[in-house]
Structure 1
Amino acid sequence: MGLFDDLSRFLEQRLEEFLRKNPHLELEMLLEQLREQEEDTLKLIADLQLQQQRSQDEILVTAQEIQRWHIRIQKAKTAGREDLATAAQQREDALLREGNQRWGQMQGLKERINQSQALLAKVQQRRQEVQSKAAQLQSERTQTQQRLETNPWQNKTVPNSSTFDDLEEKFRYWETQDELEQMKRNLR
């Protein structure tokens, strides 16, 4: 097991290094994770809504059964058949308990649907934020590439260069990493 754990840690470290050096790929990975989470949440919501519909149908059937037994209780009492009225009352009470239990389950499903919809909204908002950041990063990369292509004589190490010197590049990298870490923390 130790060898596999070491190999796994080594690979994870290399992946993290690679992603730190290529923040646009890290954003793509985050976007993919958010897409999957959004898809899973949509599936969950659909499944919960189906369960809720079934639960409502079962409650309706139970309510009709309660109504039917309530009428039977009245008929038995009117006819003087207390033995049948008592048995019918017990059946009605059991159906009421069952109906209350199903109602509680349906309320639980409604709450889970609301929570899932709130999660979906949060995931969609995070996805938009990450997409915006990815577009910004892509724009910066494109601008840098265009500057390098239009002015090949421009040397990034020239001390008085006002565009992209080493310090500027380091700060942009650090700020991008900081924003990525913040987005990751927000996802958790």
Structure 2
Amino acid sequence: MGLFDDFNRFLETRLEEFLRNNPHLELQALEEQLREQEEDALKLIADLQLQEKKLQDEILSTAQEIQRWHIRIEKAKAANRLDLVQPAQEREAALLREGNQLWGQMQGVKQRTEQAKQLQRQIQARRQEVHTKAVQAQAARTSSQTQQRAETVGWNQNYHRPINSGPDPLEDKFKHWEADDELEQLKRNIGR
């Protein structure tokens, strides 16, 4: 583990040194980081909207069940079937409680969606500012320097790792939890 930590520190030190020697790339790195944060915020918004739709469907289904049990209660009362009235009323009450809980969950998801949308707009605005600065820095650099240094070429190249395909329920739970945690972290970072 010590060798890995030493290697990791070495890479971090080299990256910091590289960025100090190439300040124009620091803006590109910041812009890339903001782009990734914006993508994460958009994914979170999509996930939350999907949750909201699911909760709406559950609320509708619960409301239909409540209505069905309410009709049964009325029928049992009309038929003077007191042995059925009370259990049906208890079922209706349980469904009402469940519907109320679902409604509260949906309101919470709506609130989180709005927060995520607001955060995404803030990130987008910040990214635009950084992009403008990066373009200005690049223009200034290009006018003063006609030849790009060889060590900066690799920075602008993309590297893609293969992604496992296959649903993993634990991975999904962690992604959801991490997305919520990242939203909170982003809010704290933007608030500074």
What TM-score does the superposition give when structure 1 sets the normalisation length? 0.74
Identity across the alignment (%)? 69
Are 1:18 and 2:39 an aligned pair?
A: no
Are 1:55 and 2:32 an aligned pair?
A: no
Which residue type is aligned with residue 89 of structure 1? Q
Q: Secondary structure of 1:80's partner?
A: coil
Q: Secondary structure of 1:128's partner?
A: helix
Task: Give deviations 1:10-54, integer Å, cap 9, x for gaps.
Answer: 221121011011111111111111111111211211121111111
Deviation at 1:109, TM superposition (A): 0.9
Match of 1:140 in 2: 140
The CA distance in 1 between the partners of 2:107 and 2:190, in whole Å, is: 30
The CA distance in 1 between the partners of 2:190 and 2:12, in whole Å, is: 22
Q: Indicate conservation of the 8 Å contact 1:126/1:187, yes or no.
A: no
Are 1:90 and 2:93 an aligned pair?
A: no
**Cα root mean square deviation, aligned:** 1.8
| 1:80-119 matched pairs, under 5 angstroms | 80-119=80-119
Which residue type is aligned with residue 91 of structure 1? R
Deviation at 1:143, TM superposition (A): 2.9
Match of 1:70 in 2: 70
Q: Indicate conservation of the 8 Å contact 1:31/1:131, yes or no.
A: yes
The CA distance in 2 between the partners of 1:20 and 1:127, in whole Å, is: 21
The CA distance in 1 between the partners of 2:88 and 2:76, in whole Å, is: 8
Task: Give deviations 1:132-152, integer Å, cap 9, x for gaps.
Answer: 110111121133237xxxxxx
Q: Indicate conservation of the 8 Å contact 2:45/2:113, yes or no.
A: yes
Deviation at 1:187, TM superposition (A): 8.5
Task: Give deviations 1:80-132, integer Å, cap 9, x for gaps.
Answer: 11111111101101111110111111111111111111110111011101101
- Structure 1 gap segments, 5+ residues each: 147-184
Q: Indicate conservation of the 8 Å contact 1:27/1:130, yes or no.
A: yes
Bigger radius of gyration, 1 or 2?
1
Q: Indicate conservation of the 8 Å contact 1:24/1:138, yes or no.
A: yes
Q: Indicate conservation of the 8 Å contact 2:122/2:190, yes or no.
A: no
The CA distance in 2 between the partners of 1:12 and 1:73, in whole Å, is: 69
Q: After TM superposition, which residue ranges in structure 1, 4 or more long, deviate above 6 angstroms?
A: none
Change (3 A) 1:187 1:89: closer
Q: Indicate conservation of the 8 Å contact 2:51/2:109, yes or no.
A: yes
User: Number of paired residues?
Assistant: 150
The CA distance in 2 between the partners of 1:21 and 1:29, in whole Å, is: 14
